[in-house]
Structure 1
Amino acid sequence: MKFVVSSTDLLSHLSAISKVISSKSTMPILDNFLFGLTDAELTITASDLESTLITHMELDNTEGEGVIAVPAKLLIDTLKEFPEQPLTFQINTDNFSVEIFSDNGKYSIVGQSGEDFPELPEMGEEEATSVTIGPKILLNGIEKTLFATADDELRPVMNGIFVELTPESMGFVASDAHKLVRYRRSDAASEFESSFILPKKPASLLRNLLPKEEYDVKLEFDNKNAMFTLTNYKLICRLVEGNYPSYNSVIPKDNPNKMIIDRLAFYNTVKRVSVFSNQASNLVKLNINDNQLVVSAQDIDFSISAVERLSCEYDGEEIEIGFKSTFLLEILSNISASDVRMEMSDPSRAGLLLPVETEEEAEDVLMLLMPMMINA
Structure 2
Amino acid sequence: MRIKTSNSELMKTLSNIGKVISSKPIEQILSNVLIRIDEKINLIGTNLEQGIECVLEGEINDLSDGVREVVLPFSILRDIVSKLDMNDTTEIELSSKKGVIKQKNASYSLNCFNPEAFAILPKIEEKLSFSLNLSFLRFLIENTIFAASKKEESRKEFKGVLIDSKDGFINFVATDSTALALNKKQAELPEMSFIIPWRALDIFSKIDTGKDDNVKVISDGNSMKFMLSN
Counterparts in 2 of 1:30-109, with a 5 A limit? 30-39=30-39, 41-64=40-63, 66-84=68-86, 85-93=88-96, 96-109=97-110
How far does the alpha carbon of each residue in 1:165-211 deviate from its partner, in whole angstroms, 9 at most, with x for none?
A: 2241111001111111110111x2323x2111111221111221277
Instruction: Report the 3-state secondary structure (helix = DSSP H, G, I; strand = E; otherwise coil) of the residue aligned with 1:209.
Output: coil
Specify whether residues 37 and 61 from structure 1 end up closer, same or farther in structure 2 by C-alpha distance, changes over 3 A only. Answer: closer
The residue type paired with residue 207 of structure 1 is S
Q: 1:204 aligns with which of 198, 202, 205?
A: 202
Q: Is the 8 A contact 2:219 2:225 kept in 1?
A: yes
Give the TM-score normalised by structure 1.
Answer: 0.57
Q: 1:222 aligns with which of 208, 220, 223?
A: 220
Moved over 3 A (4+): 210-213
Counterparts in 2 of 1:155-304, with a 5 A limit? 155-186=155-186, 188-191=187-190, 193-209=191-207, 212-232=210-230
**Alpha-carbon distance between aligned partners in 2 of 1:124 and 1:6, rounded to the nearest angstrom:** 34
**Alpha-carbon distance between aligned partners in 1 of 2:210 and 2:177, rounded to the nearest angstrom:** 33
**Alpha-carbon distance between aligned partners in 1 of 2:167 and 2:122, rounded to the nearest angstrom:** 28
Q: Is the 8 A contact 1:213 1:231 kept in 2?
A: no
How far does the alpha carbon of each residue in 1:246-282 deviate from its partner, in whole angstroms, 9 at most, with x for none?
A: xxxxxxxxxxxxxxxxxxxxxxxxxxxxxxxxxxxxx
Q: Is the 8 A contact 1:135 1:210 kept in 2?
A: no
1:117 — aligned with what? 118
The residue type paired with residue 128 of structure 2 is T
Q: Could you say which structure has the greater relative contact order, defined with CA pairs below 8 angstroms and 6 or more residues apart?
A: 2
**Alpha-carbon distance between aligned partners in 2 of 1:80 and 1:30, rounded to the nearest angstrom:** 21
1:145 — aligned with what? 144
**Alpha-carbon distance between aligned partners in 2 of 1:20 and 1:156, rounded to the nearest angstrom:** 20
1:252 — aligned with what? none
**Alpha-carbon distance between aligned partners in 2 of 1:61 and 1:112, rounded to the nearest angstrom:** 21
How far does the alpha carbon of each residue in 1:78-111 deviate from its partner, in whole angstroms, 9 at most, with x for none?
A: 1111113212111112xx2111222012211001
Deviation at 1:68, TM superposition (A): 0.5
The residue type paired with residue 87 of structure 1 is T
Gaps of 5+ in 1: 233-376
Give the TM-score normalised by structure 2.
Answer: 0.92
Deviation at 1:24, TM superposition (A): 2.7
Deviation at 1:230, TM superposition (A): 0.8
Larger radius of gyration: 1
1:26 — aligned with what? 26
Q: Is the 8 A contact 1:33 1:45 kept in 2?
A: yes
The residue type paired with residue 218 of structure 2 is E
**Alpha-carbon distance between aligned partners in 2 of 1:10 and 1:211, rounded to the nearest angstrom:** 13
Cα RMSD, aligned residues only: 1.6
- Percentage identity across aligned positions? 26
Q: Is the 8 A contact 1:139 1:210 kept in 2?
A: no
> How many matched pairs?
225
Specify whether residues 7 and 58 from structure 1 end up closer, same or farther in structure 2 by C-alpha distance, changes over 3 A only. Answer: closer
Q: Is the 8 A contact 1:87 1:101 kept in 2?
A: yes
How far does the alpha carbon of each residue in 1:213-240 deviate from its partner, in whole angstroms, 9 at most, with x for none?
A: 42210001122101000123xxxxxxxx
1:354 — aligned with what? none
Deviation at 1:15, TM superposition (A): 0.7
1:131 — aligned with what? 130
Gaps of 5+ in 2: none
